[in-house]
Structure formats: C-alpha cells, structure tokens
Chains A and B, each alone.
Chain A
Amino acid sequence: MAKQENLFDKMMSIDRRVIYLLLGLAVIVPAIFPFDVPVATTPEVESVFHFVDSLGTGDYLFLGVDYDPSTMAELHPMTKAILSQCFSQDVKVIITALSQNGPGMVESIINEIADQYGAKNHIDYCFLGYKPYPGIVVLNMGVNFKLTFPNDYYGASLDTIPVMQGIKNYTECAGVIDVCAGNIADMWIQFGNGRYGVPLALGVTGVMASDYYPYLQSGQIFGLMPGMKGAAEYESLSGYKTTGIRSMAYQTSTHVIILAFIIISNIGWFLSRKEEKKIG
C-alpha cells in the first residue's frame, strides 16, 4: 500500500510550477503597483562612483562593455549610469565590446546615452568594437590600441579619429571600468592590472560577484559593482535612475517569496523527520 502523503511531505514537494507562478506574480505585482525600496550604498560601489566623479574635462576613461543581451538586465543600468556620468562631466570614453554577441547591443546603448548628452562619436568617445581572444586583446591594448584595433567599430582608422589622438594605450587613461559577464574580468585583472598596473574596477553579474571580492580585498581592483544591487547603488549615487533602482522592488518581493519557500520546506523537513522518528 502506498504511503499516504501528510502535510509535511506536501510542504517539501510543492509543484515547481506553483513556485514559478508565485515568482512570476512577485515580479508582476510590483511592476503594476510600484513601490520604492531604500538602497543603502556600499564602499565598493562608492569608490567606483567617486573615481568617475573625480574625472574632468579631457580625462580619459576606458570602459569595457563586455557582455551580451543575456545579461543586459543586470549590467545595462551600470553601463548607462557610468556613460551618462562621463558624458555629463565631459570625460572622453574609449569603449570595447569583447563579448561576441555584444557589439550591436553596445552600439545602441552608446547612441542612446550619447544622444541624451549631445556627445559625439570620434569627438567625445570612440567605440572600438569586438575582437576575439579577450586575453590577447587586453594584453595588446596595454601596448597600443592600434595593434588590435587598427580601425574602430565603424571602420574609421584610429589615426584619423580626433578623440584617439594623443592616447596610445589604456595605461594613459585615468582607469579602466570593465562591466562584464564571463571571464573577461579575469583578463583585466591578470593583464590590465597585473601586468600594466592600470587602476581597475569591475561591474559583474550577481553570479560572478562572490568570486571577485577577494580581488577587492587584495586591492587588485579598487571597486566592484555586484549585479543589480550594485547597479541600483550606482544609480542612487549618480542620480541617473533607470531600471536598476526600480528593480529593487521586484528583487525584494521575489526574495520574500523565496525565503518563505525555504522556511516552509525546512519546517516540513524537520517535522517529517520528527514524525519518522516517532514511528520508528
């Protein structure tokens, strides 16, 4: 005879579709009825903000936008906030897109932010585009941008681009901020900071975040923006508020649901063990 399922068993075997449905609702409800969640800033994000904030007219920042559309929900808000801060402070920006499916997406985000601030391609920024083998690309750009990128994304020779005159490699920039998904961040730590000593900060996906905190503690990176929380913090500091800060409401509601499920399943597990012990 099949064992009859009691309440505790049911608590531990909730249909996954019910969980998906509740998680979906936890995102949909705050989308329709938005509410604000206070965002406390952390030193690792503040240091990135203060670094960009300290730059002024004529300074150069190298911005790696090394992710593709699969992680844009987390990383786009960071890129937008940093680009807007740079353009508003008249900082020159050199941009790459070292993720193979990223260049088209990166081009559109640059155009969107540049249009808002009246920043001009080749004058205020240069988009170098994509090249394979990010390790070799980072290594070469530490010597000379032209070694890997004789032309920019649009085919213009770097020799003819005004913003690229008087700057040879990224060590001549004030620093590098790499917003990335995947191991391109490792290349920047190993080659950009390790070999050429360029000040480096990272914006990474939530999945990657815990792997990169040791580099923050060791001083190999001076700042770290972890996932959507990092993006929300940066938006809160810069005042350029888009999807990052708004998403914190969605994060809060879904995390409450997940915590509730963890508690329910654990209670179910402990009580069913107790029941089993009683039966013997």
Chain B
Amino acid sequence: MGISGDIWVWIGAFLTFSIMSFLYKDNPFYKFAEHLFVGVSAAYWMCMGIWQTLVPNLIAKLHPPVVSEILPAASTKPAEYSYIIPLVLGIMFLMRLSPKGAWISRWALAFIVGTTAGSYLTRYLRSDFLGQIQYSIIPLISIEDGSFSFVGTISNIIIFLGVFCGLIYFFFSKEHKGTFGVASKVGIYILMITFGAGFGYTVMARISLLVGRMQFIFGDWLGIISR
C-alpha cells in the first residue's frame, strides 16, 4: 500500500476535490470539472450510440459489407431493406436542425411518442395499477401454513388502513370533518411516514456517494485503506 503512481488516479483525485470544493463556494476548479464531465459524458454517449447502435443495428443491416472490418459475422448476412424505414425516420428527426424543415421532425417524434405511449400504457396499467390493486385486496386475518399468523395479520391490517386512509386524504369531494376527517388525518400521517422513510433512504444514498469518493481518496489514491 502507498500513494498511487497512476496518473489517472491522480486526475480522478484532482477532479474529486474540484467538485467537492463547491461545498465551500462556487469556484473555477468546480466549473472546470463540471464542464469536463458534461463534455466527456456527451462525447461518450455519442460514441456509444454510433458503435453500439447505428453501426450494428442500421449500417450492418442495410449494407453488410461496409462493416466487414469491425463486425465480420454481420457482414456475411444478406441486407435487410426494411431498415430503410428507421433510417428515413432518423433523417426526418435530424431535420429539427434545419430552421425551414424543422416541422418534418414532428412526424418522427409523433411515431416515437405514439409507439412508446401505446406499449407503455397497457403494461403500466397491468403492473402498476391493476397489479397493485389486486395485491392490496388481502384478507385481514392472515393464515400461514394452516395456522393464524399474528405478525401477518398486523401487517395486512396496516396495509389495509394505509391504503384506505391514504385514499381518503386524496378524496376532495367531501369536507374532511368528523370520522372522515380522522381517517384523512391518519392518511396524512401514513404519507408522512412514507416520505420520512424515503428521506432516510435518500440520506443513506447521498452518504454512500461520499463514502465512495472517500474510499477512492484514501484507498486508490493515498493507499491508506485497503479497497
């Protein structure tokens, strides 16, 4: 163990400190690291798009011999001319860059929006709407392996009350008074507990990111701790 001799680790440490310096106040080091990150991410994304998507899924399909050097297996397959359709849609999408022809991109966009909405709607209804309703309608008395389960029963009652009171809180057609108001209040407490749990997890997540960087600084860079 000892301080790293790898130049990339040193660059990583410098960029980590540059980003963290924002905690004190905005400064040129932070700005440099931020802009570098945005630039590198965009370039990386673009390269991934070209080599992982455009080349194997479009160029190799339309004119296989072109990719004989990089994708030998794909280059021996016959051309699939149906891929002209996504090519045309892609070109239409790029028309967005032209001030006069920008309207053409709307057709490609409409195709994406339509297919995405269509495919997601039914799946979302099944998994997030019907699925959740189905599994919220549960018996209040829990029987496990033929015998009464106290923990299971308490759990089912909490789920039932949580869903019921939570829904009442969002029922705005009746004034939240009396028994209805009490149920609504229970609903808001349950929501607050949910938000609290979510916030607790968020704190853990953010601390995890700090821990990750510290492990890099003290482990990979300074070599004080083992990774």
Contact = CB atoms under 8 A, between A and B. Distances in A.
Interface of A: 17, 20, 23-24, 27-28, 31-32, 34, 70-74, 100-101, 103-104, 129-132, 135-136, 139, 148, 150-151, 153, 155-157, 159-160, 189-191, 193-195, 205-211, 214, 217-220, 226-229, 242-243, 247, 250-251, 254-255, 258
Contacts of B134: 218
A62 B200 CA distance: 30
Interface stretch (B40-48, B103-111, B171-179): B40-48
Contacts of A17: 23-24
Interface residues of B, number: 52
Given A72-B212, A129-B52, A193-B127, 11 more contacts: A27-B214, A32-B218, A74-B209, A101-B41, A189-B127, A194-B127, A206-B203, A210-B194, A228-B205, A243-B212, A250-B207
Interface in B47-67: 48-49, 52-53, 56-57, 60
Q: Is the interface of A mostly helix, strand, loop or mixed?
A: helix
A34 B219 CA distance: 13
Contact of B218 (A31, A73, A207, A208): A31
Contacts, number: 159
Given A194-B123, A195-B123, A207-B202, A73 B135 contact: no
A23 to B, nearest CB: 7
Given A27-B214, A28-B214, A226-B201, A151 B208 contact: no
Interface in B169-226: 194, 197-198, 201-215, 218, 224-225
A190 B214 CA distance: 37
B201 A214 contact: no
A74 B131 CA distance: 29
For the complex of A and B, the 5 pairs showing the least CB-CB separation, nearest first, are A73-B212, A206-B205, A157-B73, A218-B135, A194-B127
B154 to A, nearest CB: 14
Nearest to B133: A218
Given A73-B215, A209-B201, A210-B194, A242 B227 contact: yes
Interface of B: 23-24, 41, 44-45, 48-49, 52-53, 56-57, 60, 70-71, 73-74, 116, 119-120, 123-124, 126-128, 131-132, 134-136, 159, 194, 197-198, 201-215, 218, 224-225, 227
Contacts of A131: 52-53, 57
A80 B207 CA distance: 20
A155 B48 contact: no
Given A207-B202, A218-B135, A194 B126 contact: yes
B116 A150 contact: no
A209 B194 CA distance: 11
A74 B119 contact: no
A207 B208 CA distance: 11
B127 A135 contact: no
A157 B56 CA distance: 10
